Amino acid sequence: MPQSVQVRNTHELYYLRTQQAQEKMERSEKRLKQRLRVCVATCNRADYSKLAPIMFGIKSHPEIFDLEVVVLGSHLIDDYGNTFRMIEQDEFDIRSKLHTIVRGEDEAAMVESVGLALVKLPDVLQRLAPDILLVHGDRFDALALATAAALMNIRILHLEGGEVSGTIDDSIRHSISKLAHYHAVCTRSAERHLISMCEDHSHILLAGCPSYDKLLSAHQRDDYTDIIKSWIGDDVKEQNYIVALQHPVTTDIQNSIKIYELMLDALISFNKRTLILFPNIDAGSKEMVRVMRRKGIEQHPNFRAVKHVPFDQFIQLVAHAGCMIGNSSCGVREAGAFGTPVINLGTRQTGRETGENVLHVRDADTHNKIYHALELQFGKRYPCSKIYGDGNAVQRILKFMQSINLSEPLQKKFCFPAVKECISQDIDHILETQSALAVDLGGTNLRVAIVCMKGKVVKKYTQLNPKTFEERIELILTMCKQAMADAVHLNCRILGVGVSTGGRVNPQDGIVLHSTKLINEWSSVDIRTPISSALHLPVWVDNDGNCAALAERKFGHGKGVENFVTIITGTGIGGGIIQHNELIHGSTFCAAELGHIVVSLEGPECMCGSHGCIEAYSSGLALQREAKRLHDEDLLLVEGMTVNNKEQVNAIHLINAARLGNSKAESILHTAGTALGLGIVNILHMINPSLVILSGVLSEHYENPVRQVISQRALLSAQGTKVMVSELEDPALLGAASMVLDYTTRRTY
């Protein structure tokens, strides 16, 4: 009997364990089905413009997310437009409104506001009990949010951390990053900064700026003229007005007020219609408003002073403005998406990455400086910039939040030191490679390639070059669009487009001034604008010789060499000069036309119209001309050589004939090598480089003759100059890519 009881108990125990396991599994499945509670806290009009796209994304997936909205800070102040109303107009249910601002607009008021927020936030966060709190940026309100959430063991996702702007905002931003558990950053530099700050690279998402998801489609709106008229006036036309937005710098309040006053004086003198927004609530803003009122800006006929403009309308006003001026981050970030000219005043955005549309006036200490900057920038247009995003930030962030493991320990882990370099982590933990689209516009073929940061050609496309300008541009765009589509699958992030072309090029404006005879109809042609407008990417254009030099500087023998010259020996003769690590263009973009150095007064005619140029002796076309002459005189072929009747005689036949002992061919090649060597000796005596790189299909044949001429003809101090043959397979494509990959975006005035 006891044995049967024991058996029964064993069966009951087995059943009990099975039931418990099933219940545990059901609880686990139920937990997985529960929605992720996300609290989005917004403090002011600026951070709402970044958070709103994410909020709409969360709201569109009610089966996955449960959105809670908390509003605090200047949203709830009448003087700053009561901007919480636009959140309600967007049909978001605001769960809590916290009045956290202590008025005074000075340093003490900012500190008191942080303290007041810390008093009020715990009750709200305890009641909402979110799984994740989204905090944006670098405002003192956001610091209070992050502090409260961290102390209450709530996971924090910080947006736009890791950036550098050069003010107290940096300290606040980095403090929030140290409190946050997860990060969604806009740029690779910001990502690197966070990694160097010992943040866990697996918790960093390179997403881009959420506002860019809306910005990049902003030009498609048809009602922008109505928006301009409603805010600035019925008689105001596109690109004929200014948007001004200047905030106080809390670490240098008096100087920022002075700059603000000088800006207003310059705008009054410039005499253009101007939309000016009130400054934010930082310490010093009250004094700035007093300056504005003392100058009568609100009553001035050229000015429209407003406290707030809805973001979707504001970006239309910025997109179509003749210029934006001030120190708002919008100028160095969002305005770049439209190519709007920007004048950045003072030091508030000193460390930000910027596009070429931004002109910095760091020391804005005179009215004339600011006025002159307005003259330089007003009415210009620049290539669209995607430094801060590619339009896919929200979907990346939503996937990133879904991937957060809530059962993972909440305690932050730091990496001492950063264990990986240049990490770019998308939501599937796959490395996205920074890449460029490179375009080589040759006489025969048009080539497009995806080139990564290390100089690898990931994929290449080749088509015959059409005859007309319109057909060429259409083919370039078609090939680039195909490459961009392929880049997504190849996991390459395209940063811009570099174009290499023959002829004389103005790289500042992206214009081919004079093309070679090989590429007709390309004189005074703007290549940059149609490509940039169609692809929404920045575009750089330069001469193929210059591109070859840039390729060597980044990927070839010129890497780490301060002064060197690259000579291209192909169909023509070209090159590029690197002096003190910079490419030399010359006053009329005619520098490094090395093929047209004259080495003989009585030499053969060159395609440029002159006589005795290096190109007339040493280019592939010159050798082809001589090969045809010998062939017509039956002096080309020697034993072991044949030329098919259908085959066109070219430079290769001449080289083969010389190798087989044809004395006439040997003499021609000797003359060609001597001419090239004499030209290089002239270069050595003019700019004294430490290295000469021979590139192109004929480079190997000219290496020894060039060295021999240098040893015989160069001055003693120049005879030791190194001569090397390039090892790069596609210097034109790699050079075009390097313009994108190496471009310095920050300009200083």
- Dump pLDDT digits (tens) for 404-422: 999 888 888 888 764 444 4
Task: Give me the catalytic one of 47, 138, 544, 730.
Answer: 544
Place of tokens 């951070």: 47
pLDDT surpassing 90 at residue 387: no
- Across the range 168-172, mean pLDDT stands at 86
Distance CA(492)–CA(741), nearest Å, equals: 13
Neighbouring C-beta atoms of residue 488, cutoff 10 Å: 12
pLDDT bucket at 428, cuts 50 / 70 / 90? very low
pLDDT surpassing 70 at residue 116: yes
pLDDT at 432: 56
- Contacts by 468-474, CB closer than 8 A, 24 or more apart: 468/521, 469/521, 469/522, 469/525, 472/441, 472/446, 473/527, 473/530, 473/531
pLDDT bucket at 427, cuts 50 / 70 / 90? very low
Most confident of 19-23, 150-154, 494-498: 150-154
Task: Identify the DSSP state of 218.
Answer: G
pLDDT surpassing 90 at residue 497: yes
pLDDT bucket at 131, cuts 50 / 70 / 90? very high
pLDDT bucket at 466, cuts 50 / 70 / 90? confident
Tell me if 536 is assigned to a ligand binding site. Answer: no
Choice among 430-444, 473-487, 591-605, 610-624 with the minimum mean pLDDT: 430-444
pLDDT bucket at 531, cuts 50 / 70 / 90? very high
Architecture, CATH, for domain 214-377: 3-Layer(aba) Sandwich (3.40)
pLDDT bucket at 289, cuts 50 / 70 / 90? very high
**Do the Cβ atoms of 37 and 130 come closer than 8 Å?**
yes
Architecture, CATH, for domain 559-727: 2-Layer Sandwich (3.30)
Neighbouring C-beta atoms of residue 300, cutoff 10 Å: 16
pLDDT bucket at 745, cuts 50 / 70 / 90? very low
pLDDT at 516: 60
Distance CA(604)–CA(622), nearest Å, equals: 9
pLDDT at 520: 55
pLDDT at 220: 62
- Across the range 466-481, mean pLDDT stands at 89
Distance CA(601)–CA(605), nearest Å, equals: 10
Tell me if 606 is assigned to a ligand binding site. Answer: yes
Question: C-alpha distances in angstroms, 339 versus 332, 377, 532?
Answer: 11, 11, 10
- Across the range 658-683, mean pLDDT stands at 92
**Do the Cβ atoms of 114 and 143 come closer than 8 Å?**
yes
pLDDT at 413: 82
b/e sequence 607-640, b meaning 16+ C-beta within 10 Å? bbeeebbbbbbbbbbbbbbbbbebbeeeebbbee
Write down the domain spans for the chain.
31-209, 214-377, 426-556, 559-727
The CATH code belonging to domain 31-209 is 3.40.50.2000
Per DSSP, the three-state class of 497 is strand
For the chain, percent of residues with pLDDT exceeding 90: 52
Tell me if 596 is assigned to a ligand binding site. Answer: yes
Neighbouring C-beta atoms of residue 714, cutoff 10 Å: 19
pLDDT surpassing 60 at residue 535: yes
467: its two tokens: 């005859």
Per DSSP, the three-state class of 496 is strand
Matching CATH topology for 31-209 and 426-556?
no
pLDDT at 71: 95
Distance CA(588)–CA(609), nearest Å, equals: 19
pLDDT surpassing 60 at residue 746: no
Distance CA(172)–CA(194), nearest Å, equals: 14
pLDDT bucket at 129, cuts 50 / 70 / 90? very high
Tell me if 585 is assigned to a ligand binding site. Answer: no
Average pLDDT, the chain: 87
pLDDT bucket at 182, cuts 50 / 70 / 90? very high
pLDDT at 399: 94
- The reply to whether 544 belongs to the active site is yes
First to last CA, the chain: 99
- Please state the CATH superfamily assignment of the domain spanning residues 426-556 in this structure: ATPase, nucleotide binding domain (3.30.420.40)
Distance CA(393)–CA(333), nearest Å, equals: 15
pLDDT bucket at 337, cuts 50 / 70 / 90? confident
pLDDT bucket at 747, cuts 50 / 70 / 90? very low
Nearest Cα to Cα of residue 43 among 141, 158, 168, 143:
141
- Across the range 15-35, mean pLDDT stands at 66
pLDDT surpassing 70 at residue 11: no
